[in-house]
Structure 1
Amino acid sequence: MKLEISATLAYRLGDPVDLMLQIEAAALPEQVVAHATLDVGTCTNFARIAAQDGIGERIWLSCERQLNVHYSATVAIRRTAVDYRGLPQVPMHRLPAETIQYLNESRYCPSNKFLSFVADEFGDIQGGAKIGAMRDWIETHFTYVSGSSDVDTNALDSFVERRGVCRDYAHVMVTLARASAIPARVVSGYALGVEPQDFHAVAEIFLGGEWHLVDATGMTREADIAKIGVGRDAADISFLTAYGEIEMLEQQVTVRSVI
């Protein structure tokens, strides 16, 4: 599978603003970036740094008046689709060190508040089958509503309101998994099947000794996602973080399959 990706961002800035950009597909063994271009216009600073867990890169920018970004890429997805529902949960004492942070609560994923719910709703199910049951529960009980959440919405808010966008679905999925002592993180990416097309967020769950992508919205498949970055929650995977005031003028993402 090859994905042809295009992303355009335009923001109005006031005083010079420092920004962190994270929109490039990561170069990974399971996804090969065959071609990519990035144009950030006129900025006084441009510095690349490693992103969370060494997956992808973030870019420091310092710009004023207006930020115009265009990114395009062709990415070959070589990820082998695995039925995670049949995989075992890794015992906690055998978890790799790098997965431990993804057992804990984070800003948007207050997993300790879900311990009773998870025990009551999914307590008799184990491993990947439990993750599958959680994913199905979220898709069944939630409604995808654009604009229904904001920067302050966490998994508990979404759980109460039973609605949200992709990042809210991912936050709830991650939160339920962590409440079951299964490491889980949030992934940003480009994906086929997403409507409306935009940057997409899904959960990634550690089962059977490996990470597996799980989309609770049901819009896309593991084999149709190009990862940008990973993190504890949306705060770590934001495509643009501004350390100052900005105003969005345009945001457009297009993803399609190519031969």
Structure 2
Amino acid sequence: MKIAIETRLEYAVPGPVDVLLQIEAAMIPEQTVLHAHIDLPQAEHFARVPGQSDIGDRIWLRLSEPLNVRYEAEVEINRLLADVGDLPRTPPHLLPGETVDYLMASRYCPADKFQDFVNSEFAGTEGGDRVAVMRDWIADTLSYEPGSSDAMTTATDTFQSHKGVCRDYAHLMIALTRASAIPARFASVYGLGVEPQDFHAVAEVFLDGAWHMVDATRMARPESIAKIGVGRDAADVSFLTSFGPVELQSQSVEVREI
């Protein structure tokens, strides 16, 4: 599948500020970036640095004028697809080193707090079967409500409130999966079918020797998702991190099938 992406960001900048952007579709084997262009403002400093796990680029900017960004791309998705419910779990002692960090509790995904719950609620399941059951439990239990959470909301908060947005669904999915001793990470993506259109977030789980996307919101399918970057949770892969004050003026994301 081929998708077209257009993103616009406008932020007021009251004074010199350092900004870290990650909004470009990653150039990785599972997707081919056929065309891409990004317009950025004049900056005192510009640099590209690798994203976490070497997936995607981050852009450092040092600027004193408004941050106006326009990004457009066409991406062909080449991802290998599998039904996660059919995939076996890799025992922890056989996991490759690069997956180990994604077993651990993190800022928004305190997995250790969910171990008793997963062992009780999902007893009798394991591996990909447990992942699929947990995905469906989240989809059926949570209510998707824009504005119901904020940048401080953790998987524990979402578990208690039973509501959230894509970021919260992904955090809870990751926490439950890690509590089951299966590596899971946060993926920032562009997803076809996401409503309202915006940056989207899904979980990725490590099963049968590979990473597989899991969207507990049920809004986007792996074959229609372009990956931007990955991390332990949203703190690692925010589309914009500012080290100083900036003020949102407008933001838009459009994803359509070609």
Query: Does residue 24 in structure 1 map to residue 24 in structure 2?
Result: yes
Residue 252 of structure 2 aligns with which residue?
A: 252
Q: Secondary structure at the match of 2:35?
A: strand
Inter-partner Cα distance in structure 2 for 1:202 and 1:220: 9
Q: Secondary structure at the match of 2:255?
A: strand
Q: Following TM superposition, by how much is the alpha carbon of 1:41 offset from its aligned partner in structure 2, in angstroms?
A: 1.5
Deviates more, 1:193-202 or 1:56-65: 56-65
Residue 148 of structure 2 aligns with which residue?
A: 148
Residue 226 of structure 2 aligns with which residue?
A: 226
Q: Following TM superposition, by how much is the alpha carbon of 1:65 offset from its aligned partner in structure 2, in angstroms?
A: 3.3
Residue 91 of structure 1 aligns with which residue?
A: 91
Q: CA RMSD in A?
A: 0.6
> Quick one: percent identity of the two aligned structures?
55
Q: How many pairs align?
A: 258
Inter-partner Cα distance in structure 2 for 1:164 and 1:45: 37
Q: Secondary structure at the match of 1:75?
A: strand
Query: Does residue 194 in structure 1 map to residue 213 in structure 2?
Result: no
Q: Secondary structure at the match of 2:159?
A: helix
Residue 62 of structure 1 aligns with which residue?
A: 62
Q: Secondary structure at the match of 1:217?
A: coil
Q: Following TM superposition, by how much is the alpha carbon of 1:124 offset from its aligned partner in structure 2, in angstroms?
A: 1.0
* Equivalences for residues 88-237 of structure 1 within 5 A: 88-237=88-237
1:136-155: CA deviations, max 9, x gaps? Answer: 00000000011111111000
Q: Following TM superposition, by how much is the alpha carbon of 1:80 offset from its aligned partner in structure 2, in angstroms?
A: 2.1
Stretches of structure 2 lacking an aligned partner (at least 5 in a row): none
Query: TM-score scaled by structure 2?
Result: 0.99
Q: Secondary structure at the match of 1:136?
A: helix
Inter-partner Cα distance in structure 1 for 2:182 and 2:221: 21
Q: Following TM superposition, by how much is the alpha carbon of 1:14 offset from its aligned partner in structure 2, in angstroms?
A: 1.2
Inter-partner Cα distance in structure 2 for 1:179 and 1:135: 14
Residue 37 of structure 1 aligns with which residue?
A: 37
Q: Following TM superposition, by how much is the alpha carbon of 1:133 offset from its aligned partner in structure 2, in angstroms?
A: 0.3
Q: Secondary structure at the match of 1:36?
A: strand
Q: Secondary structure at the match of 2:71?
A: strand
Report the residue type matching 2:249 in the other structure.
L
1:16-43: CA deviations, max 9, x gaps? Answer: 1100000000001110000000011121
Residue 11 of structure 1 aligns with which residue?
A: 11
Report the residue type matching 1:175 in the other structure.
A
Q: Following TM superposition, by how much is the alpha carbon of 1:99 offset from its aligned partner in structure 2, in angstroms?
A: 0.1
Report the residue type matching 1:191 in the other structure.
G
Q: Following TM superposition, by how much is the alpha carbon of 1:235 offset from its aligned partner in structure 2, in angstroms?
A: 0.3
Report the residue type matching 2:100 in the other structure.
I
- Runs of 4+ aligned structure 1 residues displaced above 4 Å come to none
Query: TM-score scaled by structure 1?
Result: 0.99
Inter-partner Cα distance in structure 2 for 1:118 and 1:8: 40
Stretches of structure 1 lacking an aligned partner (at least 5 in a row): none
Inter-partner Cα distance in structure 2 for 1:65 and 1:2: 35
Inter-partner Cα distance in structure 1 for 2:161 and 2:62: 38
Q: Following TM superposition, by how much is the alpha carbon of 1:197 offset from its aligned partner in structure 2, in angstroms?
A: 0.2
Inter-partner Cα distance in structure 1 for 2:228 and 2:8: 15
1:67-124: CA deviations, max 9, x gaps? Answer: 0000000000011221111000001110000000000000000000001110110121
Report the residue type matching 2:9 in the other structure.
L
Report the residue type matching 1:96 in the other structure.
P
Q: Secondary structure at the match of 2:46?
A: strand
